[in-house]
Amino acid sequence: MKRRFPTAIFIIAAMLVLSACGGPSFEKEREKARVEAKTSFEEKKKKANEKTDEISFYLPFGFEVEEVKPNNVILKNGAKTYILFYNPHEGKDSRVVFDATTQAYGDPEAVDEFQGEGRLGYLVIKQLDEGLNSLTTGIGGVKVTTETKTGSLDDEAKVLMRIANSVEINK
């Protein structure tokens, strides 16, 4: 009996340590991403520091334009790729791009909408593999998409929404 007690304590301690070593909880990270996206949606838009023939937008430090295509700007930050999509015929309150995005994802794990000042903001997350997600934020006819690890959802949601929030169609 005396030998079983230390063994039981060891097993319980090992289980606690191993469970703490697991990756971040998707549910917790999804909620943090929602809060960051909503906060970025509500904040004053960042001043545009990048321009194409059709749009002007804010590009965070470390990001660069890799390629400009009709209705798309491919962005890079290190090894990560981001797609900035815009539909110049849809306003900031349009549901067209949002509805098409949620439909394309099939059954996404997170869909959030934000309303304010005549704008529709949104966050859509689809789990791809263990710990890897497709993340899209947008406002009306503009969206920014990337693939990211679960533990980075909140930081990426904040940056993507800041970019989407800054986009202006050049007249």
pLDDT digits 0-9 by tens, 102-136: 999 999 999 999 999 999 999 999 999 889 999 99
The residue extents of the domains of the chain are 23-169
CATH architecture for residues 23-169: Sandwich (2.60)
CA distance 133 to 110: 11
Q: 164 — phi, psi (to 5°)?
A: -60, -40
pLDDT digits 0-9 by tens, 61-96: 999 999 999 999 999 999 999 999 999 999 999 999
CA distance 164 to 63: 14
pLDDT of residue 8: 55
CA distance 9 to 113: 47
The Cβ of residue 98 has, within 10 Å, a number of other Cβ atoms equal to: 22
The Cβ of residue 133 has, within 10 Å, a number of other Cβ atoms equal to: 24
